[in-house]
Amino acid sequence: MSKIDPRGRKVKILATLGPASNSPEMIAKLLRAGADAFRVNMSHGDHQTHARTIEAIRAEEKKAGQSVAILCDLQGPKLRVGQFEGGKAFIRHGAHFTLDRRDEPGSDERVCLPHPELFEILEKGQRLLIDDGKLRLKVIRAGSDEILCTAEVGGEISDRKGVNVPDAVIPVPALTEKDRRDLAFAIEHGADWIALSFVQRPEDVAEARKLMGGYGALMAKIEKPAAVHRIDEIIELSDGIMVARGDLGVELYPEDVPPLQKHIVSKTRMSGKPVIVATQMLESMIESPAPTRAEVSDVANAVYDGVDAVMLSAETAAGQWPEEAVSIMNRIAMKVERDPGYRHQVDFTRVLPDGTTADALAHACASIAETVTLSGIVIFTGSGSTARRVARERPGAPMLVLTPSKTTARRLALLWGSHAVATKDIGSFEEMIAKGKRMALRHKFGRAGSKLITLAGVPFGTPGSTNLLHVVTLSGNELDKHED
């Protein structure tokens, strides 16, 4: 199988690695099938295994000659019930069931809830969802030692099943001691993105950013209703947003999730930061070689909404068809982006430029791309901010992002429409034009007669100085003149 052309689609594919896919051979196959970035799930496996996985990604990245992002996803705190006599019990529909602080095996009538903080905040009428919402309890009376509930939905319950509390802000930090160790490991091993779980408030994001010390980019996972209520502040403090529909779908009513997804995507797009839609996108492909029609529509709708990336979870981490899952997701995205109605759909979020020269030029790039037939937009950037500004406009032409920073190039592997290349910096206007043309030809962003936009800042090498836009025409012989 030949390698996927990075200019073939603008939305990115983030694939989770696990037992089914963390070998060098499978990582190479997933890259060829269309993966742009890989997620390392810190909830499973040990540091030794993760270190080998990251090393394998970097080795295959070098062979493939492309910038690949690594996202380490922190587990976050997990709320769970205690253990039962015989390992399980059965809660009858409509029956009373008590959660208490007694460290004794549970029964059909009670179980230990080893989280003292929940006894302090729960109130009458609030819900507790157990085992991903399979069991639903409603609080009748809450005290300091016991929480009496009625079972709105009963069923079998077993040891250590997870508990979700959708109606309250839980007074626990988003980072556990395990998360802090995992975060230190991820930074030490050069992770490009850190995904923060269990975000409820902006302070959770601020704490993680402080611990990161300027290394890596921070992706806030929106999986708690409390986070939705403060989404503007969380977006502002984050480098990107992940719509994590797993827990979000447990804690909300199913019909609430699609409009919320669109709301979060729209707000994040307006900020110019990457937004990822994740969880259960091609869930049936864990066992089946083909997705359901509903799953295909789900992926397609996210692409139409202009998300920066779509994510595969268990489909590639533990499924039987990891390569096929990436390939099908790639084909869905390619088909959508070639739809004549795609441009109209992806522009549903109209972004007005901020009152800066950089934003005005980014907006101009998109306007020129609508008027003139362009083969690409060549962007020179150090931090990636210029590329993010242009991507926010969702231009019709693909972006070739040239940066002297390998770190920046890798982070931009999750940015819509960008193909980032780490290369030597430029020092003059003439060098910018010559190098822009040369790299565009080398990376197949046009041929003789093609028009390009080049975007940079003067003085060169100064962060935040984007102030130069130039339209050039390729002659076709620039590639032979210099080597980078």
Q: What is the β-pairing status of strands 12-17 and 193-196?
A: unpaired
Instruction: Write the CB contacts of 179 (distance below 8 Å, at least 6 apart in sequence).
Output: 42, 74, 75, 76, 197
User: Which of 248, 230, 117, 225 is CA-nearest to residue 171?
Assistant: 117
Q: 3-class SS at 69?
A: strand
- The CA angle 158-159-163, to the nearest 5 degrees, is 85
User: Which of 322, 272, 282 is CA-nearest to residue 302?
Assistant: 282
* CA atoms in the 13 A half-sphere facing the CB of 125: 0
Active site annotation includes 221: yes
Share of the chain residues as helix, strand and coil, in percent rounded to the nearest 5:
40, 25, 40
CA 147, CA 25: separation in Å to the nearest integer? 51
- Which of 9, 29, 221, 269 is catalytic? The answer is 221
Please, are residues 453 and 473 in contact by the beta-carbon 8 Å criterion? Answer: no
CA 145, CA 120: separation in Å to the nearest integer? 9
CA 219, CA 72: separation in Å to the nearest integer? 10
- Which of 10, 29, 39, 435 is catalytic? The answer is 39
User: Which of 292, 255, 282, 309 is CA-nearest to residue 71?
Assistant: 309
Please, are residues 53 and 17 in contact by the beta-carbon 8 Å criterion? Answer: yes
User: Which of 17, 4, 11, 69 is CA-nearest to residue 316?
Assistant: 17
Active site annotation includes 279: yes
Q: Residue 261, class by beta-carbon neighbours within 10 Å (0-12 exposed, 13-18 middle, 19+ buried)? A: buried
Task: Give helix 385-392 / helix 357-371 axis angle, nearest 10°.
Answer: 50
- Rg (the chain; Cα; Å): 24
Please, are residues 40 and 53 in contact by the beta-carbon 8 Å criterion? Answer: yes
Dig out the tokens for 245 from the structure: 């529909």
- Which of 16, 268, 279, 381 is catalytic? The answer is 279
Please, are residues 419 and 400 in contact by the beta-carbon 8 Å criterion? Answer: yes
Please, are residues 96 and 109 in contact by the beta-carbon 8 Å criterion? Answer: yes
Dig out the tokens for 164 from the structure: 């979700």
Please, are residues 290 and 320 in contact by the beta-carbon 8 Å criterion? Answer: no
DSSP tag of 392: H
- Which of 80, 180, 267, 335 is catalytic? The answer is 80
DSSP tag of 128: E
Active site annotation includes 16: no
Active site annotation includes 110: no
- The CA angle 170-183-68, to the nearest 5 degrees, is 120
Dig out the tokens for 226 from the structure: 């409390």
Active-site residues, by number, are 39, 80, 221, 279
